[in-house]
Structure 1
Amino acid sequence: MTYSSRRGFLKLGLLAGVASALPGILRAEGARVYAPARTAWRTFELRTTIVPPAGQGATQVWLPLPDLATDWQRTRDDRWSGNAMKTEIVTDPASGARMLRASFAADEAAPTLTLISTVETRDRVIDWSANTPAQEDPAVLRAALAPSRMKPLDGVVLKTARSITAGATTDVEKVRAIYDWIVATCHREPSVPGCGPGDIAAVLTQTGYAGKCADLNGLFVGLARASGVPARDVYGVRVAPSAFDYKQLGGTPEKLSGAQHCRAEVWLEDYGWVAMDPADVLKVMRQEREDWIKDRENPLIAPVDAALFGNWEGNWIAYNTASDVILPGSSAGPLPFLMYPQGENRAGRFDELAADTFSYKITAEEVGA
């Protein structure tokens, strides 16, 4: 194991142990705690209400459905209401990602659709000491090693991956090196619209190693794939504040239209799919305080840096892991990912980031079991 790998694992274990044993002392002394832990399931009602523009011909909308059944998330049900002339659940033909499609008549004066998904979540954690061989469908792993439109695996991506992982002999060491390189080299750029386009070659050649979560976690995924480690993005939305008082790591349940967040995971044979989120480390470094913190050892940053290599907090709901998404029935081309409501009419595809003019609202409410 490389030095950076040993350092990361030791730091993670130390912080997790201290945080669970002495949270009162840590808080009293002013140190920060960020230590996701396996706890009881939480249940959220995730509500998306969309009001497409009227008077512009026949209209279609597509809303992503929380589509993962895992040991950290499960969907109870999806239900919807509105005045669409047709609603149906459809899937992206390549990935199988599910979405609700609604069609509105050209003369509908006030089109509207509300989707409510009831989803259970909990913190996602890993025990690095438990080496238990895991199994996965070979087709799933092949897909997690393939390039996509925004994730080429040749050229500058391959060159960078080889440089980062030189000397690493195991997949864990490769992943650790890539995670550390992104946190040490890249930075979050708040001016990037939405979650960023996810163009990882551009991050390496045009943006100064800057971007947002779809760019930075997307880069992590691309570098892992180029290094021979299966990896994928996980697209979702934050639905509640962080339990550890990090304002940048939570959402405001009453207004989640801008709370979309892309995470990542890698396949490691002794552990299965493992959570990763270097982009959130960079978000805390750049935006948790007014000043830009560039020291990973800073007491505000270190717990997050350690924990997000293998863990994440359950205040977030995943939609899918799909890329190059086809919207069934759409006249436009594929999307790099499906994390926002989508729509189109005779004027073309709506701007997914214009939640006010496109007019959609996303909220969440935590409900009893």
Structure 2
Amino acid sequence: MGLSTITRRRFGGLAVGLAGAAAFPRALRAAEAIRIGFLGPLSGALAFVGQTNQNCLDLAVSEINEAGGIAGRMLEVIAEDSQMSTKTTLDKARKLFQSDGVVAVTGMVLPSEREAALSIAAQVKRYVLFPNFDEGRCHPNLICTGLSINQSTVPMVRWLTSNVGKKIYVIASDLATNRQIMLGSLKAELDAQGGTLAGAQFFPFGARDFGPALQQVAAANPDIVWHAIGDDPITFVKQYASFGMKPQLVTPLVHESIAAATEDASVGNIGVESSYMSVDTEANRAFIDAYSRRFADFTPRRVRGKVVMLPHGEKTYVAAKLLSEAIRLGGGTDYDALRSGFGKVTLAAPRGTVKVDLAASHLVCDTLVGKVMPDRGIDVIARLGAIAPVCTGAKG
């Protein structure tokens, strides 16, 4: 952990950092640190994801500081546990923005966390950097570093109908974004490609018995099962394999950590993402190597000799690097300076070159199709191109 990083990880919820900080002045001043807020699930079912995000934020901040910071100013991280709670996220976002003076927050996993933090960010004219794929949410105070629905689900359905099959069954967590946007976008593209939606089932967080649903899937005999069980994909994937299911399993939740945890159950599964550990760029190799050295004791899971990385972590790392460049190019940390800076950034990220589409609150980057290999690594089997993001979710 870098000397300039302030964190509360594994300290029983006690915040570590400087108390009583005032909000930042508009002009850059070399003597004062720039504060970034981490706000994500450090406890509960998604703690591993949240802790990975925090690790990656710490790594990015350390790299920026070791290179001299931004105009001589160091970065500091103040971290808070969202506890997967909307109320807690609201309270912690208010603290981070209004008391701690952070210029932006990142680290959230759930759309509900994003919305809670965004409601406070909009009040104080700050930014939320959301490190996950999403429904295409647009807001002037939001930058999403994952794929929007039109960059992931829509082109993936197009690719599947050309390469795998045209009959899809959906099993997903019971989130409004899944019901209202993901399913609608998937069905619309499936219809456009002459395909058929064989059925759809939604499960509340905490559901662990998918047996009856899998029996119904088998009876429907689809070519593909599209799964978006977000809180416990490991259990779902294991049950899917144990039932001897034949349809191709496809999910935006395929990543190396799940592949390692599910052993042979994930082999052959196909995913759509913006990044995998195997992406062949110099920046990605450096990122994975640095993470493996720094966090060798974080988890025993290894893939191809490296500590497993979640796509959420790469997105958090990218968020910090984008913020750093936006501050540099915009010449300040206030909202207008950051917005100007974000509009100018071109970043050589681990996944490849990315730019910010301010109107759509997302990045322009390649969409990747990955497949889990027998060694639990994920190989990129197709590139669907850099697709301009579209606001398909709520705006403003």
Q: What is the TM-score normalised by the length of structure 2?
A: 0.27
Higher helix share: 2
Higher strand share: 1
